[in-house]
Amino acid sequence: MQSQPLDPLDLKLLEALQLDGRAPFNRIADVLGVSDQTVARRFRRLRGILHLRVLGMTDESRLGRTTWLLRLSCTPDTAEQLANALALRPDTSYVGVISGGTEVMCAMKPATRQARDELLLDRLQRTPRLISVSAHCLLHRFYGGPLGWLSKINALSPGERAALSPPPVEPGTGPVVLEAADEALLAALARDGRTSLTELQASTGLSESAVRRRLDRLRSTGILYLNVQFDNEHFGNDVIAMHWLTVAPAALAEVGRALASHPEVRFAAATTGRANVVAATLHPGTGDLYTYVSDTIGALEGVNSMETVLTLREVKQLAYEPGR
C-alpha cells in the first residue's frame, strides 16, 4: 500500500514535536500561523498514518547509569524468539534483528550492577542456541537522545525553531537521585509523553502543582526528554543500517562530530570494544547505502575499518539513542 504523502505543515509539526514533545497545540499553532484545531487534527492524522508517538525518555547517564549495546549471535530459528523475550524486559530500550536473521542487537540500561551481571553472566549464558555475546559499553553519545532524527528535516524556519525550542538543559553536576514520585512520573510519561497534568496527578497521587514542579525539574536537569517515534517508510527510508567503525583514538571526536552532522545518521556513539564507534543510519535503498559508505564514511580521516549490517526488523524501538 502506497504511503500517504506528508505536506510541509505535517513536517513542521513533526519537527516541532521533536523540539518539544509537550508543547501545547495552541503554542505550536501560534508559531506556525494556523488554528489550534488544525494542529490537533494533523496530530491525529499523523498518529494514524505514521503510528506517531511522543514518548517520555530517561537519560540514564544523568542518573549515573551505564548503557550497554549487545550483539547476540544465534541460530536462525532462535533470533525472533530471543528478540521478543528481550523486548519484554523493562531494562531494554531497543531490540532489532540484524545480519540475515542470525543476530540480535539490544540496547540495555540496567539500573544496577547486579541487574547487568544477572543478564550478561547468567541468563544469556544459559540461553539455548545462543552462539556468542558481544557487549559494548556506551562511552559518549555523538548524536541521538534529545536530538532525534526529525531535528534534521529542516522543515521549520530558524525563527520558528527558536520560538518552539524549550529552555536549555542545565549542566550536569553529578548523578541525580530519583524519588518514588519521580519514578512514577517517568513511568507514566514513558507510555505517553503528552499525558496531561490532570492525568499525571491522578496516576501519581500528587497535587497538580507538585506534578508541575517535579516535571519542570526532571526536564531542566535533562533526566527527562521527549522523543518522537514514527514509521521510517513514510520518509522513503526503507533501509536501516548499523555501522561498527574502528577509529584511531585521536580521531574519535572528529569522526563523531562528522557522523552527527550527516543527514542519514539517527544515532552515533563511542563504545568499548574492537569497533569503537557505532552508528545507525537511514537510507532510501541499498544503492544509497553504498554511496554513503563509500563516499561519506570512506572520506573520514581516522576510520581504519568498518562493518555494516542491515536491520531486518525493529522489535522494540523506544529510542534511537538507547534510552528508556
CA torsion angle for 304, 108, 165, 42 (degrees, to 10)? Answer: 110
Model pTM? 0.87
pLDDT of 284 > 70? The answer is yes
Distance from C-alpha of 58 to C-alpha of 218, rounded to nearest angstrom: 9
pLDDT in tens, 203-246: 889 999 999 999 999 999 999 999 898 888 788 899 999 999 99
> CA dist 237 to 4, 171, 283, Å?
14, 35, 5
pLDDT in tens, 50-108: 999 999 999 888 888 889 999 999 998 899 999 999 999 888 889 999 988 899 999 99
DSSP conformational letter for 223: S
Percent of the chain with pLDDT strictly greater than 90: 69
pLDDT band at 41 (very low <50, low <70, confident <90, very high): very high
Residue 87 half-sphere exposure, CB side, CA atoms within 13 Å?
Answer: 17
pLDDT of 156 > 50? The answer is yes
Amino acid code (one letter) for 271: T
pLDDT of 266 > 80? The answer is yes
The yes or no reply on domain 142-149+234-312 and CATH 3.40.50.300 is: no
Which of helix, strand or coil describes residue 248? coil
Distance from C-alpha of 60 to C-alpha of 166, rounded to nearest angstrom: 20
pLDDT of residue 3: 57
DSSP conformational letter for 72: E
Residue 192 burial by Cβ neighbours in a 10 Å radius (0-12, 13-18, 19+): middle
Query: What's the mean pLDDT when you consider all of the chain?
Result: 91
pLDDT in tens, 113-132: 888 888 877 788 888 889 99
What contacts 248, CB < 8 A, 6 or more positions away?
302, 304
pLDDT of residue 46: 95
Domain ranges in the chain are 142-149+234-312
CB distance 324 to 57 below 8 Å = yes
